[in-house]
Chains A and B, each alone.
Chain A
Amino acid sequence: MSRKAKVLTGKNHSIWNEYKKCKYLFLLLIPVIVYFFIFHYLPMYGVIIAFKDFSPLKGIIRSDWIGLKHFRKLFSGMYFLPVLRNTLIISFSKLLFGFPAPIILCLVLNEVKSLRFKKAVQTVSYLPHFIGWVVLAGIVKEVFSPSHGLVNYIIQLFGGNPIFFVGSKQWFRPVIVGSSIWRNIGWDSIVYMAAIAGIDSQLYEAADLDGAGRMQKIRYITLPSLIPTIVIMFIFAVGGVMADDFDQIYNMLNAQVMDVGDVIGTYTYRVGLQQMDYGYATAVGLFKNVISLVLVTLCNKLSKTLSGSSLW
């Protein structure tokens, strides 16, 4: 046996020993690794059908390669680009309005001295987060109903005409963005509240001695302490820009607003699972996931150099 091989086997041997020492730990870990392999990594392997003319009869391996045909269709067809546009408009609106909302809520809550009041508001504001979109969409449609909804009742009190919000091209996206903020504002603020709870109260006491006002304390103590959390949450949010909230939009979407409300998720479902165009729909999904991954990576890198906080 050559010396090199000997060294190698020696090394393997010690690794084997290390694993043997932890055999019970691995016994525990194995089912979990197997789970992730089957339910997460096998589908990742499955994305190769985005490059194949997939037919369920032939299976993944025996289906013919067709290169980038599906991707060419993606960008030349007149179907995907409007969907991409809708997705980006809705997601960026959610980012623009929905990202700062819980931060503002948390700053406002932090100014409340009565603990009981604070707790009450928090309890109420978390509630919608625990209700699924099937139910919430039902509720939202009820509240915005043109024939008997609360919102239109108020509009009419002020002399306006009832608006069919959920069925109007002009209003559909604002309703989506608004109801998403309505659902998540409370829950999303928890992370920031936890970060605020970690701020040393001596900082505020010192600021009080210096005669700092409410806004100054927010500006110079609270916000700077929140920055690392905000950065982390922002990276997550940017990574989610391509991932439309399928649950929400599917349950709210209707024929009248297809033009403005059809997003990547609903499109993938329709093309892939209703029209059974598996290969093409996989290409749509792959495109989405790759962009998301690139966005998270870029954002992470950027924030690492700029602020020092990062996901990994």
Chain B
Amino acid sequence: MVGGYVMKKKVGFSTIIIYILLILLAVVTIVPFIQVFTISMSPPEVASSYGLHLIPTKFDFSGYRSILKHRNLWVSYKNTIVRTFLGTILSMFLYIIGAYPLSKKYLPHRKFWTMIIVFTMYFSGGMIPDYLLVNNWLKLSNTVWALILPGAMSAYNLIIVRNFFEAIPDSLEESAKLDGANDITILFRIIVPLSKACLATVTLWCIVGNWNAWFDCMLYIKDESKYVLQYTLQKILLDGQTQDINLKVGMVVNTETMKMAALVVSIIPIMIIYPFLQKYFSSGVMVGAIKE
């Protein structure tokens, strides 16, 4: 792409600096994760000593053993999977049925309906009214709906899906319309299959969002048996609950290795879907997007 020899002269100082900077960024990003992995499988005396902890020198899985016996963690793991599953399906369904009408130029008062949705991106009631709505008015507290419904849709994602639908040429629908198909059939038979890339991206965002959520659980869920993973994890990390667990299990472990093991266990699913996430990054379902 570039006139070869002009560039070759330039391969010098600045190129080296660029590569060093980027390698440094990659190292700084990844090392903390590696450290957590290493400490999670090290014996307590290694974990509590200074060092780089990049490669495990001695192996000891007592951290994992105590996490495996931690009943709450697995119950909340299951709860998180359930909420992620239900939440993602609901969100995607709503995004699809909402984005399609908004993508049609001939929808009456299209601007008004779009504005109603976009406005929620810039203004909201805030934490307390949200809480009162879910807890006092809808009385959803202590149910999975309190976790799924309030965040089921964001204006941002809806607009991204709408923009994608809008870019699909009308001609594809025209013929189906001539055959007598109605909008609903067209949406699910033609538009959705054509939008796989965009819908996959938004689906993955929903999965990640649900997986990482904890605040809604802290607000609305009272029973320990209904806690989600991140909240149980937070309790293990923040509240110094580790002691209690160890007493229950009847085993003394370094709390540090156990915390790290808990972190690892909670990251693994994200790591598994990460390569899939990765695939869709460059596809440009991005900002300019938001412009009406």
Contact = CB atoms under 8 A, between A and B. Distances in A.
B126 A32 contact: no
B22 A109 contact: yes
B127 A285 contact: yes
Contact of B108 (A22, A182, A296): A22
Contacts of B133: 38-39, 42-43, 46
Interface string A141-174: 1110001101011001000000000000000000
A156 B153 CA distance: 48
A281 B128 CA distance: 7
Contacts of A75: none
Contacts of A308: none
Contacts, number: 279
A150 B53 CA distance: 8
Contacts of B211: 132
Given A131-B212, A150-B53, A272 B98 contact: no
A142 B47 CA distance: 10
B194 interface: no
Nearest to B285: A194
Nearest to A269: B127
A18 B14 CA distance: 62
Interface string B1-28: 1110010001000110011011101101
A177 to B, nearest CB: 15
Interface residues of B, number: 102
A131 B108 CA distance: 41
A296 B122 contact: yes
Contacts of A46: 125, 128-130, 132-133
Given A36-B117, A232-B287, A43 B124 contact: yes
A9 interface: no
A39 B122 contact: no
Interface of A is mostly: helix
A121 B18 CA distance: 12
Given A273-B219, A292-B122, A310-B291, 13 more contacts: A24-B182, A32-B153, A43-B126, A111-B18, A132-B213, A138-B259, A186-B29, A190-B281, A204-B2, A205-B1, A239-B122, A286-B126, A289-B124
Interface of A: 15, 18-19, 22, 24-29, 31-33, 35-36, 38-47, 49, 56, 60, 105, 108-109, 111-112, 117, 120-128, 130-135, 137-143, 147-148, 150, 152-153, 156, 182, 185-186, 190-191, 193-194, 197, 201, 204-205, 208-209, 211, 213-214, 228-229, 232-233, 239, 246-247, 250-251, 265, 268-269, 272-273, 278, 281-282, 285-286, 288-289, 292-293, 296, 310-312
5 contacts: A134-B230, A139-B32, A150-B32, A190-B286, A289-B126
